[in-house]
Amino acid sequence: MYTLIMKIIKLNEVSSTHTYLKEYIKNNTYTENICICTDYQTNGIGSRGNSWSGIKGNLFFSFVISKKDLPDDLLLQSASIYFSYILKEVLKENTSNVWLKWPNDFYVNDKKIGGTITTVSKDLIYCGIGLNLKTVNDDYGKLDIKINSNDILKCYFDKLERKYLWKQIFSDFKVEFENSRKFKATVDNEKISLENAILNSDGSIEVNNKKVFSLR
């Protein structure tokens, strides 16, 4: 039987869970799947190189996983949506109304509350996720339920262990993608409307005659 072992290291404070994890693997080599978790990140990495820091009391975690621990039909360019959607499902099972805006942003109603960044290095995939559990400023929202971060992480990695097929995840995400159409996404540093975007089966979209991938 397949078993996903995830070692979780909790830090009181870190500049970036993503950067810390990559340095950790660089210095110690990869011997097991590892998650770095904190409730206070001072210099986090967001999409397109932006910062995503937040305040103490939010949830930030990054994990590294081997490609062999992912479903066979998951393309690397689909990984960001895959990881994000599974966490969204965990939160929904805890009565949250969170939804996933293409490609990797967590929303409650019309405000962003978090996001995912996914990078690939040889046979390893690094995924970093940040969620606002507390109000950061007026531009961003926060999760609409109270959670125990330890319980959420356990449920999340339990679900990853089940290796849901990308085909199954995409089928559900395709329905939810309709919520993204009233928003914009950044393509080549330009805000582009998703109203008429075509969602492809690999998680990419076609907009303005250009194919844009979700991995970032």
Domain presence at residue 159? yes
Domain presence at residue 98? yes
* 2 pLDDT higher than 70: no
* 137 pLDDT higher than 80: yes
What is the torsional sign of CA 135, 137, 143, 149? negative
The mean per-residue pLDDT over the stretch 25-36 comes to 94
CATH label of the domain that carries residue 30: 3.30.930.10
pLDDT band at 56 (very low <50, low <70, confident <90, very high): confident
* 51 pLDDT higher than 70: no
Number of domains in the chain: 1
The mean per-residue pLDDT over the stretch 103-114 comes to 94
Quote the pLDDT of residue 215.
52
Helices (H), 37-183: 79-93, 149-161, 166-176
pLDDT band at 49 (very low <50, low <70, confident <90, very high): very low
Domain presence at residue 74? yes
* 8 pLDDT higher than 60: yes
* 46 pLDDT higher than 80: no
The mean per-residue pLDDT over the stretch 179-205 comes to 91
User: In this structure, what are the phi and psi dihedrals at residue 64, rounded to the nearest 5 degrees?
Assistant: -115, 140
The domain of 163 spans: 6-179
The mean per-residue pLDDT over the stretch 156-185 comes to 95
Quote the pLDDT of residue 80.
93
The mean of the pLDDT values for the chain is 90
Rounded CA-CA distance 130/8 in Å is 16
The number of residues in the chain equals 216
Domain presence at residue 36? yes
The mean per-residue pLDDT over the stretch 184-213 comes to 89
Domain presence at residue 147? yes
Domain presence at residue 208? no
The mean per-residue pLDDT over the stretch 151-158 comes to 96
The mean per-residue pLDDT over the stretch 74-102 comes to 96
CA neighbor of 128 nearest in space, from 99, 97, 106, 151:
106
The mean per-residue pLDDT over the stretch 42-50 comes to 57
Alpha-carbon radius of gyration of the chain? 16
* 43 pLDDT higher than 90: no
Please tell me the pTM assigned to this model.
Answer: 0.92
Domain presence at residue 210? no
Amino acid at 3: T
The mean per-residue pLDDT over the stretch 54-77 comes to 91
Domain presence at residue 197? no
The mean per-residue pLDDT over the stretch 161-190 comes to 93
